[in-house]
Structure 1
Amino acid sequence: MAAEIARYEVEREHQLENAIEHEQYQKEAIMSERIIMRTGECLVAGGPPFTAAEPEVVIGELDGPVGTAIATLTGGQAAGHSKVFAILDTDIQVRPVTLMVSKVTVKSSSYTNILMGTVQAAIANGVLDAVRAGDIPKEKANDLGIVCSVWLNPGAATDPDLDHKALFDIHRKATAQAIHKAMNNEPTIDWLLEHQDEITHKYYQRGLDGTL
């Protein structure tokens, strides 16, 4: 009986060692896979007025071109197009580091407060949602950077009834989906080639219809 127990303990120890080695191998494989640059975009609309989101993201290693872009943009501020890190709240920067760049020229304090308040927090939460979902490996959270080009409808700044909860939820969802598409190379080239002739840009169609 004692011999059987000893043999069981040895086998169990080997199993644990193998499990630890496998986990370490997986972590090393993730860390060794360099993500030079991934791109993605997403449109989420259909909510209350001025709450639509259409982010475009560029994701990559901080010691590569994306990291260089983040450093350059951070140091190259321009009037009306300030670049800021996505934060959960003041003094709580999100990881991976995410730099927000406004597509719209900021001309009022009201727009600034919404962009660098509700939308900024939404983007930060969307980034963490992408990590939690596994789209961004948690092990690379300190090695990757994201540039997020943000579109906030200018009408949001003058709408006294702006739905901030809907605005937050929509921009959060759009950010996470854009990251998902970027990290999974979606849409794939095969899908694009298959459906190319079925898709017409909606504003091109409006131009054809004379409804622009």
Structure 2
Amino acid sequence: MNSNFIFHAGEATVFAAEGQYTDAMPEILIGRSDGPVGQAFANMMAQSKGHTAMFAIRACNQMVRPPTILVPKVTLRDSANIELFGGVVQSATADAVVDCLIEGVIPREHANDLCIISLVWIDPRCATHAELDKKDMYRTNYEATKLAIHRALANEPSVDELIANRHSIRHDMDDWS
């Protein structure tokens, strides 16, 4: 792991069980609270309609360290999706951050010096899906957040990997090439 905590970015995708709309695709920024990530973190405190940011908490009065803010990537238009964001997704994110501390992915000695911004995807169809599986939604968000944090702090994928795979890996939604 790189001990330079100025600015680290990571992402991960974990797919949902068949027939669910609970894929998780967090995009993570981790950095020192007195650096550019900390400045962005503070700027995220301003609310915008449909994109309410919130801290990752494990329960009331149990905000995680490093402080982590979740911001939806899509406009949350109804209370059902807002409840998923502030319930299942918030819980999964918080647990992933704490487990990254426990496992040493995030060094404990830096927990109060760093902050995390997590841009979170919630499929707008998710909340109204008749067979919504909240356990699967928790699983995908938990696994993807842990993986994104690991990748951010390990600077993955490496430049060599990106270059080596330039012509052999395509975007999952690529139907134009």
Q: Secondary structure at the match of 2:100?
A: helix
| Map 1:1-212 → 2, pairs under 5 A | 33-48=3-18, 49-74=20-45, 76-204=46-174, 206-208=175-177
Which runs of 5 or more structure 2 residues have no equivalent in the other structure? none
What TM-score, normalized to structure 2? 0.94
Give the counterpart letter for 1:181 in structure 2.
R
Give the counterpart letter for 1:207 in structure 2.
W
Q: Secondary structure at the match of 1:59?
A: strand
Which runs of 5 or more structure 1 residues have no equivalent in the other structure? 1-32
Q: Secondary structure at the match of 2:149?
A: helix
After TM superposition, give the deviation of residue 163 of structure 1 in Å. Answer: 0.6
CA contact (8 A) 2:51 2:74 kept: yes
Higher relative contact order (CA 8 A, sep 6+): 2
User: After the TM superposition, which parts of structure 1 deviate over 6 Å for at least 4 consecutive aligned residues?
Assistant: none
After TM superposition, give the deviation of residue 34 of structure 1 in Å. Answer: 4.1
Distance in 1 separating the partners of 2:29 and 2:16: 25
Alignment: residue pair count: 175
Task: State the identity as a percent.
Answer: 40
Give the counterpart letter for 1:199 in structure 2.
I
After TM superposition, give the deviation of residue 89 of structure 1 in Å. Answer: 1.5
Higher helix share: 1
Distance in 2 separating the partners of 1:174 and 1:120: 13
Q: Tell me the equivalent position of 1:10.
A: none
